[in-house]
């Protein structure tokens, strides 16, 4: 027997297929949000629930390409849940590759000091601190709004005493050295076209990196030797066609470079250590 909620999910997924690459997932997340339950509880027994009145309004927002994360107000990343909203870069599963690489490198001992350049809502830094409870971290972002979101997320996750966030221009003026540096800079070429739910909603400054997408790497990488601890590791997210070009920049700065692929087997993270 098909329940009311199950039928609504199926019909909604069919509608959302016109605007989303994950229509069924979007439908389930919106339904769970409307019901005030977690998605696993919804999927375990949909017959327990009736379709909420405001579900249709949420679907209408998604049909206008508004990101699901903005509609529900959060995005799960690694082992944490981050609050996000308009003006924030939404955490992507691909970025978890950087945390996986850090865990592979440091193991259970972990880094002592972590730096997140371009921290947004705290994505990479807070995921790292969740992995290593004794680590301390600093996040830098050019946006005061992003720093405010990150501070709220740190407080919600009980990390307010271990994570600090400040407004800055990458590592300019930053003192001290860090065992782990994480960075997901803008790397999309200015001429590249994006899906409407990205192009029309997410912050342009967090997406586009100049004519070839490399402008920010050219600024960040030469400054890394100054702030990376002698036995430290810097991990940069890259576009899947940028391995060679960004590696050359890193090697010119004196780094040995390795690459980790994401779950789709695309080049996603460059690991930089002192050569």
Distance CA 224, CA 232 (A): 11
| Mean pLDDT across 58-69 | 98
Residue 70 lies in a domain: no
| Mean pLDDT across 152-169 | 98
Question: Do 190 and 101 share a structural domain?
Answer: yes
Domain range for 24 is: 4-64
% of the chain at pLDDT higher than 70: 99
Q: Is residue 243 very low, low, confident or very high in pLDDT (cuts 50, 70, 90)?
A: very high
Q: What is the chain's mean pLDDT, rounded?
A: 96
Question: Do 190 and 270 share a structural domain?
Answer: yes
Residue 176 lies in a domain: yes
Residue 69 lies in a domain: no
Question: Do 240 and 136 share a structural domain?
Answer: yes
Question: Do 97 and 55 share a structural domain?
Answer: no
DSSP 8-state class, residue 211: S
Q: Check if the beta carbon of residue 127 is closer than 8 Å to that of residue 75.
A: no
How much is the pTM?
0.95
Distance CA 39, CA 52 (A): 15
Question: Do 100 and 10 share a structural domain?
Answer: no
Distance CA 160, CA 4 (A): 43
Q: What is the pLDDT of residue 121?
A: 98
Question: Do 190 and 94 share a structural domain?
Answer: yes
Q: Which H or E element spans position 42?
A: helix 39-44
Strands 228-237 and 267-274: antiparallel
Question: Do 113 and 50 share a structural domain?
Answer: no
Give per-residue pLDDT as tens, 89-128.
Answer: 999 999 999 999 999 999 999 999 999 999 999 999 999 9
Q: What is the pLDDT of residue 246?
A: 98
Question: Do 205 and 131 share a structural domain?
Answer: yes
Q: What is the pLDDT of residue 241?
A: 95
Q: Check if the beta carbon of residue 239 is closer than 8 Å to that of residue 219.
A: no
Q: Is residue 1 very low, low, confident or very high in pLDDT (cuts 50, 70, 90)?
A: very low
Question: Do 59 and 105 share a structural domain?
Answer: no
Query: Quick check: 272 pLDDT over 90?
Result: yes
Q: What is the pLDDT of residue 2?
A: 55
Q: Check if the beta carbon of residue 119 is closer than 8 Å to that of residue 165.
A: yes
Structure tokens at 101: 């690489």
- List the CATH number of the domain containing 201: 3.40.50.150
- Tally of structural domains, the chain: 2
């Amino acid at each position: 027997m098909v329940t009311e909620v199950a039928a609504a999910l199926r019909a909604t997924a069919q509608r959302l297929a016109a605007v989303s690459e994950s229509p069924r997932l979007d439908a389930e997340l919106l339904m769970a949000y409307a019901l005030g339950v977690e998605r696993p509880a919804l999927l375990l027994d949909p017959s327990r629930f009736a379709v909420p009145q405001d579900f249709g309004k949420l679907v209408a927002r998604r049909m206008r390409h508004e990101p699901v994360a903005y509609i529900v107000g959060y995005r799960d990343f690694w082992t944490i849940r981050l609050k996000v909203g308009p003006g924030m870069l939404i955490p992507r599963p691909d970025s978890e590759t950087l945390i996986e690489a850090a865990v592979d490198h440091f193991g259970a001992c972990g880094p002592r000091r972590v730096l997140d350049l371009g921290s947004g809502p705290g994505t990479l830094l807070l995921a790292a601190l969740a992995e290593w409870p004794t680590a301390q971290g600093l996040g830098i972002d050019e946006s005061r709004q992003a720093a405010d979101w990150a501070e709220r997320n740190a407080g919600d996750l009980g990390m307010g005493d271990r994570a600090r966030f400040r407004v800055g221009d990458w590592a300019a003026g930053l003192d001290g050295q860090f065992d782990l540096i994480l960075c997901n800079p803008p790397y999309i070429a200015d001429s590249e076209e994006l899906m409407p739910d990205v192009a029309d909603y997410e912050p342009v400054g967090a997406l586009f990196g100049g004519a070839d997408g490399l402008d920010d790497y050219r600024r960040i990488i030469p400054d890394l030797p100054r702030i990376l601890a002698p036995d430290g590791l810097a991990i940069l997210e890259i576009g899947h066609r940028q391995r060679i070009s960004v590696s050359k920049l890193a090697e010119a700065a004196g780094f040995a470079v390795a690459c980790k692929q994401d779950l789709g087997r695309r080049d996603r993270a460059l690991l930089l250590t002192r050569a």
